[in-house]
Amino acid sequence: MAEPLLQRAWQALRKDTFLQILLLGLVALSFATHTPLPAYPGLVDWPTIAALTGLLALTKAVETSGALHRLGHWLVAYMTSERAAALCLVSAAAVLSTVLTNDVALFVIVPLTLGICRITPLPTTRLVVFEALAVNAGSALTPIGNPQNLFLWQLSGSSFGGFVWHMLPLVAVVTLLLLAVTALAFSSRALEATDPDTQHPLDRRLLGASLLLYPVFLVLTDLHYAPWALVAVLLCLGVLHWRVLAQIDWGLLLVFVLMFIDLRLLVGLDTVQHALAGWALAQPLHLFWAGIATSQIVSNVPAAIALAEFSKDWKVLAYAVNIGGFGLMVGSLANLIALRMAPDKRAWISFHIWSPPFLAASAAVGWLLLFAM
């Protein structure tokens, strides 16, 4: 088993351009920072990696059980058109991300979408792209919707309701804009299942165990026991259906490990720190544009942490880094998760057709709400 897994990992590495870029970036930053190799593991947020691994395993278990295939058939029966299906899935992604966080919402919605697309002629890649945009929009609403909000909420000292009230205008306008674009991007063509087999085999034991493990895993992760929760999940799934573990996207986990190392090395460069210090971030408008721009380089979570060192204006910073999740795929880790889960390896091209214009529109909305009203 080990040899096929190694071969599969090597093949994935050869085909994964983004992973190769991260490796090259690691080499360049290693020379630029002179950081010793033993220090690299300390740059990785291992609880986050553990949480991501557990979610990948549980999602793959639910998918392997056949439940998503059956649920897809059931949903298709109620979706009259391609546009209706897109609006339903995009709305569900946005709503789930407000309470389950953006990455967990993707782990629920994207596999379901892929299951539906196997039995209908829906444009898979475009749907996944819009779901990535949806979780970035929806998760901006609450302090628990994404990591940058959680960090800024703790920094602000604001109440849960106060944080939501501040973010509500931005999220409402951006979500309505996204739904309008979704309606235009998908046709009114009638939706019919191309696979009439609704009696797809269902592994009830695997499905039941996965659904029981989901809330337990999330609660333990929230209590900061993610590594122990991961061990429990891997042991249970290994006993029930060990092939599930072989099907986990281990390449995605390596991408996240490398991103933690690369981005933290980059933010730690003296030139980057001096550049940030020279942006006059005490001025709210400068902070707003800096948050959006920095997110395109180091992702919105590191951007929030780095910029908070220069300004405590959490209201402006929260708008900026959440808007910054749109644009380039590195703007938000949720973008990377969605694009890695898409079956089309060129999905990043489609993403960058839709996302930058949406970034521009969202930035205009944020500027109007913060500075012109």
Identify the helix (H) or strand (E) that includes residue 88: helix 82-100
Give the burial string for 43-63 (b: 16+ CB within 10 Å, else e).
Answer: ebeeebbbbbbbbbbbbbbbb
Predicted TM-score of the model (pTM): 0.78
**10 CB-contact burial (10 Å; exposed 0-12 / middle 13-18 / buried 19+):** exposed
Give 190-231 pLDDT, tens digit per residue. 777 666 555 567 788 888 888 888 888 878 877 778 888 899
CA distance linking residue 14 with residue 215, whole number of Å: 36
pLDDT in tens, the chain (373 residues): 445 545 655 665 666 677 788 888 888 888 888 888 888 888 887 887 887 788 788 878 887 887 777 777 777 777 788 899 999 999 999 998 987 778 888 988 898 888 888 878 889 999 999 999 999 999 999 887 888 887 888 778 788 889 999 999 999 999 999 999 999 999 888 777 666 555 567 788 888 888 888 888 878 877 778 888 899 989 988 888 888 888 787 877 887 788 778 877 887 787 877 777 777 888 999 999 999 998 998 788 888 888 887 888 899 999 999 999 999 998 998 898 898 888 887 888 999 999 999 999 999 999 999 988 6
Extract the tokens encoding 65: 């059980």
Mean confidence (pLDDT) of the chain:
84
Give 149-200 pLDDT, tens digit per residue. 878 887 787 888 899 999 999 999 999 999 999 999 998 887 776 665 555 6
Extract the tokens encoding 180: 């309008």
The DSSP code sequence of 202-238 is: --HHHHHHHHHHHHHHHHHHHTT-HHHHHHHHHHHHH
Extract the tokens encoding 299: 């992702």
